[in-house]
Structure 1
Amino acid sequence: MSQRVVITGMGALSPVGESVSEFWDSLINGKAGAAKITKFDPQYFKTNFAGELKNFSVSDHFDRKEARKYDPYCHYALVAAREAMNNAGITKDDVKDPRRAGVIWSSANGGITTFEQGTKEYFENPETPRYSPFFIPKILVDTASGLIAMEFGLMGVNYCPVSACASSTASIIEAFRNIKEGRADVMVAGGSEAPITHAALGGFSALKALSTRNDDPAKASRPFDRDRDGFVMSEGSGALILESLDHAQARGANILAEITGGGMSADAYHMTATHPDGEGAVWSMQQALDESGITVDDLDHINAHATSTPVGDISELKAVKSLTGNRFKEIPVTATKSITGHLLGAAGAIEGVALVKTLEEQTIPGTINLENIDENLPEGALIVKETQSHRMTYALSNTFGFGGHNASIVMKKWNA
C-alpha cells in the first residue's frame, strides 16, 4: 500500500537568513543576499561578489575539535538538519526504530574548500606533503549524509545523489519515494553547498555563467530581465523532514505540507546548456504531475529554476508553456533566486523550504530586479514581480543542472 508523505520540519541557512523565519522574511520583503566576497580577495576575477552567509560563525555551532574535522559544506548541512529536526520535534531518543529512519543529502561540489586548501598547501611545500588525515572524508560529497545520520542515530537508507544543481531536489524525491514505497518512516532530505572559493569562482567565470554586475551586486540576479547576464553563486543549506502520514499523525506532529509527486529527466543535449525548447524539463514536470494524480488544471504556482542566465530562463518558460498550454497565462511563476542567488546543489532544498512556506502562508514571494521583461520570453507568462497573496493547493518547483539533469517536485497545501 502506498504511503502518503508529509513534511514536518524545515531548516534553512542562506545568504538572506540563517533560519527558516529569517529566510522567509527576506523572501517576502525582497531582500537580496549578494554582496562583495569577503572570504578572499576577488579583485583579479571578473566577478567579485557572491551570496555569502552573513552572520554564520562555526564556533556558535561546533567546538574547535569538531569544527576542524568538517568542511564548511558539512557545517552548513548539520546546522540546517538540526533546525529541521528541532522544528519537527524529533530528538535522537524519539527515533523508535532507527533502521526505518534515514538521510538522503546532496551537494554538487562537496568539500571544495578543503580540496583547494589542501592542494594549495601541497604545492607550497611539495617536498613535505602533509595532507590532513581528514582530507579525504572532508572532501567527499556523501560525508554530510553520514554525519547527519551519526548525530541523530539514523540507521536507514543513506546516500548522496549528485546531479549538479538538480541534486537536492533529487534527494527530496528519493526520500519521498523511500517513504511512499514503505522502506522508511522518517527521512532527512536536503542539500548544502560551500562553493565560494577561488576555484569555483574562476571555473564558473570561465564558463561565462556568472553575472559581472560588480557595481551593484544586489541587482545582479535578475531572472527573466532583458539585461540579465548570469547567475549569482551562493552558499548555504536547506533541510526537510519527511514522514509517512501515519507516522506523523501517530506522534502528533505538526504537518507543514504534503509531497505528492516528483519527476526527473535528462535533456540529453549539451554538457552545460539547457535544451532550447526545454524538452527534458517538460518531461520532468509532467512526471511530477502524473505521480501527484493531477493535471495542469490543478496547478496553482511554479517556483522556477530561473537562474538569471540568458538561455536558461527562456528555455524553462518555453517548457512551462509547452506543459501548461492554455493555462500558461494563468499560473503565477516566481524566481526566488533573484533574492537568494544560486545555491547550486543546495538550490532545490532551499527552494523546497520556500515552497512549503508559500503554501503555508498562501503567499508568493516576488521576483525582484525584474525591470524589463526579456522580449524573447514566451508571451504572456504570469511572472510575479511583487509579493502577493494567492490561493494555492498544488505548487511545483523546478531545478535543472549542468549535464542536462532536470528535477521537479509537487507539493500540496496541508489541510488537516
Structure 2
Amino acid sequence: MQWKEIATNSLILKNYELFKKSGVLDYIDETHSNNKELEDLLIEANEIFRQETVDELINLIIHFLAEKFIPSNMVFILNEGIMFNRIKTIVCRNMKISNDIIVIESLEPFEQFFRTYRGTTSFLILENEMEDTGLLAPFVPYKPRIVVPVLGISGLYGMIFFGEKVLGEDYDTREISYIDKLMNFTSIGIQNTIHYEHSVRDSKTGLYNHNFFIHRVNEQIARAKRVQKPFSVILMDIDNFKLFNDSYGHLAGDEVIIQLSKVLKRALREGDILSRFGGEEFTILLPYADKNEGWNAAERFRKTVEEMETKYQENILKITISLGIATYNYHEKINDITLLKRADDALYKSKKTGRNKTTSFKSGLLTKAQDMDYNESNQPSLK
C-alpha cells in the first residue's frame, strides 16, 4: 500500500487520534522521508558514476551538497596516480572552487589513521591521533570540522575536509549520515575515473594512448561519413632522437618528451586529440580540419617545437620534429589503418627530404615518380 493510499484510508482516518498517539503515523512519516532520501541518493549515485573526470565529479558533489547545506570551506586531496604519487588538491570556498594551492607530497602518513577511522570523522580526532601534526598545518586555515576518507581496494585515494557550516549549528547526525553515504558512492566514482584515466593515458606524459586515439579516429570516420565533412590526422616524430639520447642520455630524452607534450597540449584547439603513439612519435586528430587547415595546424606545431627550450642540468636542449598529414575524404572507403599509413608515408617523406618539415599525403603516379627520382640520388636517412 502506497503512502497516499494510507493517508486517505477511511479506517485510518476514523482512528486517526489513536494512530497518532501510538506513534504509528510518525513512524510512517519518518519511513516515507527516509525512503525519499534513499531514492534521491540513488539518483545522485547514478549521476556520480556517469562522470568521466575527477573535476566533473567534484563539481557534481559540490552541487549535491549545496542542496543540503553549505560548508564554508571544502578541501579535496586526491591521489590521481596508481604506480606513483600524483596529488591533486582542490579548495572550495562557499561552494566555489578557488585558486588556493595546497602542497601535499603523499597520502601515506594518513593511511594508518584511516585504517581505524573509515568513515566521516571529527577533525579534532585526526589532530589528536596524528603523530606529526605539522602535516595538518595546510588544512587549519580552512577551519575543518570533519574529514572523510576516499577509500578503495588500493587503500587511501584521498581525503575530503569539510569546514564549518555557513548557516546553522554544527553537522547533525542526519547530515553526517548523508555525507557518509554520498562519500561511499563518491569514493567508487573517483576510483573509477582515476582507473579509466590510466587506461586511456600514457603514464609518462599524461597524453592519450594509442588505443584511445584509434578509437577516436574510428568515431570520427563514422561521424565524417554522416555529416559529410573531412578531418585530418597528423603523425609527428622527433628528429634524430636516437642520436639525441646517445649524446645526452635517456633521462634527458624523457625530459624532452615530457616538455614536448606540454608544449603541444598548449597549441591544440579545443576538440583536438593528442596522443603519444609510442616512443618519440605523437599523433593528433583534427576533427573537421580539411587539407589546408591540417597543414596550418601542423606548421603551427612544428614552429612551436622549433622554438621550445628544455632545461636539463646545465644544458639548454632544443629539438625539431617532422610531420606527416593525411586528410580523410568521406567519399573514400578507407579505414583507420589506411589513413594512418598515409600519414606515416607523408612523415617518412618529411624525414628523407630534410627533416623539420611538414608533408601532406598525396597519392598518384607523379608522387611515386618523384620519390623514385629522390631515392636514386639520395641515401634514405634513419627515421
> Normalised by the size of structure 1, how large is the TM-score?
0.24
Between Structure 1 and Structure 2, the one with more helix by share is 2
> Normalised by the size of structure 2, how large is the TM-score?
0.25
Q: Which structure: larger Rg?
A: 2
